[in-house]
Structure 1
Amino acid sequence: MTTLNRRQILAGTGATLAVSMASVPATAAAVTGSSPDLAGKSILITGTSSGFGRLGALMYARRGARVFATMRNLPRPEGAELEQIARDEKLDLTVLPLDVLSDAQAAATVAEVERRLGGPLDVLVNNAGIVISGPVEVQDLLAAQLAFDTNVFGYQRMARAVLPGMRRNKSGLIVNVSSQQGRIIMPGMGLYSATKFAVESMSEQLAYELAPHGIEVVIIQPGGYPTDVGENRARYNAALLARAEERHTAGYPAMVASMTPAPGAGRASAAATARPDPADVPRAIAEIVAMAPGTRPLRRPVHPAPKPQEAINRVSAETQRALLANGPHAEAARAVLD
């Protein structure tokens, strides 16, 4: 059966399929090596005060992209540091305020980016997220609402802000940072997996719906990496435990104890073993951004260790292919899944 990619769906023809598919590289690295050129790309990233977001903002700018690095609570030292590096290295990197919990800020920041660009954004990287761990029963509604508002609704706010412009331009890429825990369950991680399962579902649905508009959605599935997310988790966990009731915590002594690790324990254990490089994640995103439109994968697991979600990804793709094969969304499904 002939399959159409997103570009061909947009054009409404598959006549050039044989020629175009024969010349498409499997990955950006096949053409660009380990440092893909991002010149001419405009990229907005959320959550750039630390971790994958900060590393990515600098990496993409150093590879030639025009980067809009966003974070909440500006002015703050992390923003000033990024701006200083940009000045020192003459990078096209702009720091802008954005709290992904705010509809108004999401809309205003994207409008400002489009004003500066003189048109729609090329790439949105939804990266801002939080972890609040512990037994599900211990997660009160305040914790649950904050987790979903940041990790899921924040991504939706940003997608809604950029999509009208991308659809007008008939092109664009949304990269949603999920987790391997968007496919597998680790007891004691609270509602984190639930939020990432939601990201996986929402992203794949968007991918089908946006394929006819020439817009792609890619889901990044990192494994565990040593970033500041651990310190932030400790802060959120402490606030949760301070208001938790004994009638909820009493049933899970080991899990509750793990919510407050001994100072330095994480660093000590990590130092005793090989530490995966957090730059793996922005490197994978850079490769995906550099790939030709219509050739990008729906999902990209990232970690040097085994990736247990890969088997689930395969089964999911087969199931969706069969489910949508003969319905009104068959063409979009083939573009996304094949």
Structure 2
Amino acid sequence: MNILITGASSGFGKLIVTDLVKAGHRVVGSMRDIAGRNAAAVEEFKALGVEVVEIDVTDDASVEAGVAAATQIMGTVDTLINNAGVGAHGLQENFSADDFRRLFDINVFGVQRMTRAVLPDMRARGEGLILNISSLLGRVALPFYGPYNASKWALEAISENYRAELSAFGVDIAIVEPGGFPTRFIDNLMQPTLRDRDSGYGDMAGAPKASLEGFEGFLAANPQQNPQLVADAVVDVIGTVPGARPFRTEVDRIGMAEPLKGYNDHLAQVTEGLFTNLGMQDMLKLKTAEKAA
């Protein structure tokens, strides 16, 4: 399968690329600044036989050019993995509207840009997979992650709508929802640009920092929360036969996956019931080549 993945330079992206190559897929990794700060990652990928294209998911022209380059390299983009993302941590009131806009430009608008760039060809061929890397924080809100929660909840809704609107064209949608893992993602969390209201929060003003430090310590004490689990889940979803893929896959070993899987399963039942009541139940069924025949 020919696969294009965003945010491939580090973290989950790098692990996913490596595992997909081992599984026999052809992969093009995308990232920003391939001649600068990510030059070392580019060389590592070349050693694996992985070609790299430069894509800034916040820029329309960059997305269009990068997807065109990936298509030229592989012939088709059979699967798009929307992995590029950024987190945020702090008191929600201290994040400005511009802070929210920057975060959404990557986590939400970037996904829309990438998805729109590959969909015409997928629809024309009657097959394809869009796999979105979401988060368990796109299912439940935890304090101090407000803008990130909001962006991932939006991504979940986008995925739900694409699933219904594209099923008749044979284009599959899947979501992988990781919990918190020890990657560079934590080091790169966006902080609020406005701190002038800290005084109004009293002791609570220091809670985000203490909470994050406590969570990092918790992760260090729980090595079973291995980022490799996320890469394994992605490879499994991609390797599953179209029409049988799970829509949502929860990935976590520290207590979030099980209760949220129950929530996801209940939502699936509610969604199916609602679609059935409205006479739209077929929109939840992927039209595969076998079914079409």
**TM-score normalised over the length of structure 2:** 0.90
How far off its partner does 1:76 sit? 3.0
Equivalent of 1:228 in 166, 184, 190? 184
Q: Structure 2 matches for 1:26-175, cutoff 5 A?
A: 41-87=1-47, 91-118=48-75, 120-175=76-131
Superposed CA deviations along residues 85-105 of structure 1, whole A, max 9, x for unmatched, are: 532xxx331111111101111
Q: Distance in 2 between matches of 1:271 and 1:137?
A: 30
Q: Distance in 2 between matches of 1:323 and 1:265?
A: 41
Q: What is the identity percentage for the equivalent residue pairs of Structure 1 and Structure 2?
A: 34
Q: Mark the CA change 1:335 to 1:117 in structure 2 (over 3 Å): closer, same or farther.
A: closer
Superposed CA deviations along residues 49-77 of structure 1, whole A, max 9, x for unmatched, are: 21101111111112221111111122135
Q: Mark the CA change 1:262 to 1:134 in structure 2 (over 3 Å): closer, same or farther.
A: closer
Q: Distance in 1 between matches of 2:142 and 2:90?
A: 11
Superposed CA deviations along residues 253-300 of structure 1, whole A, max 9, x for unmatched, are: 455424446998765553333351101111111011111111101101
Superposed CA deviations along residues 12-61 of structure 1, whole A, max 9, x for unmatched, are: xxxxxxxxxxxxxxxxxxxxxxxxxxxxx111111112110111111111
Give 5+ residue unaligned stretches, structure 1.
Answer: 1-40
Q: Distance in 2 between matches of 1:116 and 1:49?
A: 19
Contact kept, 8 Å, 2:115 with 2:130, in 1: the verdict is yes
Q: Mark the CA change 1:54 to 1:77 in structure 2 (over 3 Å): closer, same or farther.
A: same
Contact kept, 8 Å, 2:3 with 2:77, in 1: the verdict is yes
Q: Which residue of 2 aligns with 1:302?
A: 251
Q: Distance in 2 between matches of 1:103 and 1:319?
A: 36
Give the aligned CA root-mean-square deviation in angstroms. Answer: 2.2
Greater shift after overlay, 109-118 or 197-206?
Answer: 109-118
Contact kept, 8 Å, 1:325 with 1:333, in 2: the verdict is no
Q: Distance in 1 between matches of 2:101 and 2:151?
A: 10
**TM-score normalised over the length of structure 1:** 0.78
Q: Distance in 1 between matches of 2:203 and 2:155?
A: 29
Q: Does 1:201 align with 2:201?
A: no
- Greater length-normalized contact order (CA 8 Å, ≥ 6 residues apart): 1
Q: Distance in 2 between matches of 1:222 and 1:254?
A: 31
Q: Which residue of 2 aligns with 1:323?
A: 274
Q: Distance in 2 between matches of 1:42 and 1:51?
A: 21
Superposed CA deviations along residues 131-153 of structure 1, whole A, max 9, x for unmatched, are: 11112211101210011111111
Q: Does 1:215 align with 2:175?
A: no
Contact kept, 8 Å, 1:139 with 1:190, in 2: the verdict is no
Q: Which residue of 2 aligns with 1:187?
A: 143
Q: Distance in 2 between matches of 1:263 and 1:124?
A: 32
Report the AA paired with residue 67 of structure 2.
V
Contact kept, 8 Å, 1:69 with 1:94, in 2: the verdict is yes
Q: Distance in 2 between matches of 1:70 and 1:184?
A: 29
How many residue pairs get aligned? The number is 285
Q: Mark the CA change 1:254 to 1:101 in structure 2 (over 3 Å): closer, same or farther.
A: farther
Give 5+ residue unaligned stretches, structure 2.
Answer: 288-293
Q: Which residue of 2 aligns with 1:177?
A: 133
Q: Distance in 2 between matches of 1:258 and 1:45?
A: 35
Q: Distance in 2 between matches of 1:263 and 1:218?
A: 29
Q: Distance in 2 between matches of 1:144 and 1:262?
A: 21
Q: Structure 2 matches for 1:237-248, cutoff 5 A?
A: 237=191, 240=192, 243-246=193-196, 248=197
Q: Distance in 1 between matches of 2:156 and 2:212?
A: 33
Q: Mark the CA change 1:258 to 1:328 in structure 2 (over 3 Å): closer, same or farther.
A: same
Report the AA paired with residue 309 of structure 1.
L
Contact kept, 8 Å, 2:224 with 2:253, in 1: the verdict is no
How far off its partner does 1:189 sit? 1.0
Report the AA paired with residue 129 of structure 1.
G
Contact kept, 8 Å, 1:204 with 1:298, in 2: the verdict is no
Q: Which residue of 2 aligns with 1:24?
A: none
Contact kept, 8 Å, 1:83 with 1:95, in 2: the verdict is no
Contact kept, 8 Å, 1:181 with 1:193, in 2: the verdict is yes
How far off its partner does 1:197 sit? 0.6
SS of residue matched to 2:223 = coil
Greater shift after overlay, 186-195 or 265-274?
Answer: 265-274
Q: Which has more radius of gyration?
A: 1
Q: Mark the CA change 1:164 to 1:178 in structure 2 (over 3 Å): closer, same or farther.
A: same
